[in-house]
Structure 1
Amino acid sequence: MDSLEATRNRLNQVHISLRKLSDQINYNIRFTGKTRLPTYGQFQSQFHVLITQLHSITSILENNQDILDHTNAYPLPLFPTSQHEGLATTLLRKKPLPEVEKWIDEAIEHSKSLNINSQADDEFSQWCSAKIQEIKEDFQFYGFLSTEELEYLETEEGKKEASAKKEAERQREDVEMGVTTGKKALHPNQVLKFMCQGKIE
């Protein structure tokens, strides 16, 4: 999305400007042997750049308020980035992984044999949705838990664990509501369902 990319670029410029100002202050402290701030002219020049950059960010946010109000950022602030850095990097990748590119190419080749124009988004998405419905008829879905896991949830220990998970999920949602200004973000399963079926429920 162009508005998000423009905002990211402006924020990166502000970060660089603040880092430059910090480096100027630290340089004077480190190499003069005493605390000495940059000159007034240096401060004024750097602050002028910062004000211009912040004004640019404000304009972008105002012009794209409707879009940004309905945009959910992934991963959310509570995502354990330090523990799952590899997963976060994968989620934020713009270019597909090599094996995913191979799957995409294979799907495009397969669609050619079926006389489907993969460039026609509406036609292709309708075909995908119909194909998923067709495949679903060959399987029975009872959720994401195995028989052993369902049996465990019937035990006293399983019930306590499920209750604790539910409470943790409720607390996470409360924090998320605060971050998203009262609007609940879409659950990843809802996002996947929309990607597969084009439906938000």
Structure 2
Amino acid sequence: MQIPIDSLESIRNRLNQIHLSLRKLSDQINHHNRHPNQVKLPSYSHIQNQFQVLITQLQSVASNLDNNENVLKNTNVYPLPSFPAAQHEGLVTTLLRKKPLPEVDEWIDKAISDVESFNIDIVKDDEFAKWSSSKVQELKEEFQFYGFHLDEELHFLKTEEGKRETQEKQRLQNERDEIERRITDGGKTGLNSNQVLKFMYQGILE
């Protein structure tokens, strides 16, 4: 089987970028918590931009993982004879490690403990989530949605002034998108709040 080295290396690089982005944001918040009178929290727009970058990075990783699902399920990592194991002993140990890290074991044990203490049946919980999703979709099909404008607003949008206003709003949005493409990895625009909420509730990205 041909191993898609470029795609797998892209996953590793993206995960590293996500790690660095999260650590940077965490350091900024922790620095403020340690010195609240000397260091201000990042602005809302700054945090939102970082969040949008993270969403884009996660979306890229998810896409690569999905495209390489079969390879990842059937590939075992091991060093080739030519691998400089002496110089990169730490990396080899990490790649060959089968047992979860101690902190991961703690997360697993805590999750199991929480489930037992709350008497949560995960299987039933998943079944209920699937039923809820299908029920919402079923109910949505019984209605017609025309947006959030009043009749007066819809009438205004059809006038020349309304059309000019719509064009100006679109121009400003295009400018914001272009700025985001310049600062976002992959030249993609970030997700607005409505898209993020839709993804959280429906798992749909438009």
| TM-score interval, smaller chain | 0.3 to 0.5
TM-score normalized with structure 2 length: 0.42
Relative contact order (alpha carbons < 8 A, sep ≥ 6): 1 or 2 greater? Answer: 2
* Larger radius of gyration between Structure 1 and Structure 2: 1
TM-score normalized with structure 1 length: 0.43
